Amino acid sequence: MPAGRTNRRATNRGRSASALIVVAAMAAAGLADVGYVVAPGENLATIANKYGTTPQAIAQANHLANPSVVLIGTHLRIPTTPQSTPTPSPGPVPAPPPVRIPTMAQVVTYTVKSGDNLTVIAGHFNVTPSALGSVNGITKPNLLRVGQVIRIPVPSPAAVAALLVRYSRLYKLDPALIEGLAWQESGWQQHLISEAGAVGVMQIMPETGRFTGVNILQRSVNTAILEHNVEAGVAFFAYLLQQAKGDQQLAVAGYYQGLRSVRQKGMFAETKRYVANVMALKQRFSL
């Protein structure tokens, strides 16, 4: 959550551990290995089936001596071909290097509580009521049953990763650093809204969104839109990095605590932990 939000606490700090298991790397031109983090209950056969490849190919790509034993949390390289990679669609921004963006969505579920309606639920998950109604076949949005399970469409990790890479390149930043920053902030979850009001993948506060739109992008920013959110967060971080004269750790601290506060007061203890986490994630996403 950028720009001086030291009131954010454990609500968001633990997000990375419970966030969705994500595909961390993108194919730059449709023909490249992708990254995958092994989830509980998975083995090479189930992972291979997702990507239209074979367990033997994954084992060979990762130099696995015993393909039958894969530890939870292991980072794997998945060898892909244009036929086995989901067909992507071009993004709307022509300026960055060409990165084809998958448009498929994931689905999470929510159990309706007393007082809920589609508008309330949509606001909580940062999606539109019409999208919820369409996915769930609901024609009367104010007549929901307590206990009813609602399916919530959210952007896929692949779509988020592609945008993070796209805008990192556009603003001449290290994609691994931006991926790590976004993971620390939200676990790459666009539907996440913090108690302090930070929105989406980059956890943009309303005032930061306005500042970025007016002073950096010079156009309106709607942080509820995934691409707006990612571009605003990346553009704001590029601005901080420039102000920090290229010092990545200072810029990361500024994204969390506020650059002026860091310069005046130094890094708070929680800011130091935040910076350490982001830099460790940067190394992980560089693999």
Q: pLDDT tens digits, residue range 128-174?
A: 888 888 889 988 878 899 999 998 888 888 899 999 999 999 999 99
Average pLDDT score over residue span 189-201: 90
pLDDT at 34: 64
Structural domain spans, the chain:
10-18+157-286, 34-78, 105-155
pLDDT at 286: 92
CATH class of segment(s) 105-155: alpha beta
Mean pLDDT across the chain: 79
Q: What is the pLDDT of residue 48?
A: 77
> pLDDT tens for residues 221-261?
999 889 999 999 999 999 999 999 999 999 999 999 999 99
DSSP the chain: --SS-TT--HHHHTHHHHSPP------SSS-S-EEEEPPTT--HHHHHHHHT--HHHHHHHHT-S-TT---TT-EEEE---TTTSPPPB--S--SSPP--B---EEEEEEE--TT--HHHHHHHHTS-HHHHHHHHT-S-TT---TT-EEEEEEE-HHHHHHHHHHHHHHTT--HHHHHHHHHHHHSS-TT-B-TT--BTTTTB-HHHHHHIIIIII-S---TTSHHHHHHHHHHHHHHHHHHTTT-HHHHHHHHHH-HHHHHHH---HHHHHHHHHHHHHHHHHH-
Whole-number pLDDT of residue 73: 66
Indicate the range of 66-80, 170-184, 185-199 predicted with least confidence: 66-80
- Using one digit for the tens of pLDDT, what is the confidence trace for 1-57? 675 554 443 334 334 333 333 333 333 333 345 667 776 667 787 777 777 778 888
The CA distance from 227 to 265, in Å, is: 34
DSSP β-bridge partners for residue 199: 193, 204
The class that CATH gives domain 10-18+157-286 is mainly alpha
Q: Which CATH class for the 34-78 domain?
A: alpha beta
Confidence (pLDDT) at 125 = 77
Encoded tokens for 33: 């290995």
CA geometry: angle 188, 190, 192, nearest 5 deg: 95
Note whether 34-78 and 105-155 share their fold.
yes
The Cα–Cα gap between 273 and 163 comes to: 26
pLDDT, greater one: 50 or 84: 50
Report, as an integer, the average pLDDT of 272-284. Answer: 96
Q: What pLDDT, on the 0 to 100 scale, is given for residue 264?
A: 96
Whose tokens are 């206990």? That residue is: 147
Burial-class residue 185 by CB neighbours within 10 Å (0-12, 13-18, 19+). Answer: buried
- pLDDT of amino acid 72: 67
Predicted pLDDT of residue 268 = 97
In the predicted structure, residue 207 carries a pLDDT above the cut 60? yes
Separation of alpha carbons 116 and 163, rounded Å: 32
Through-space distance between the first and last CA atoms of the chain, rounded to whole angstroms: 25
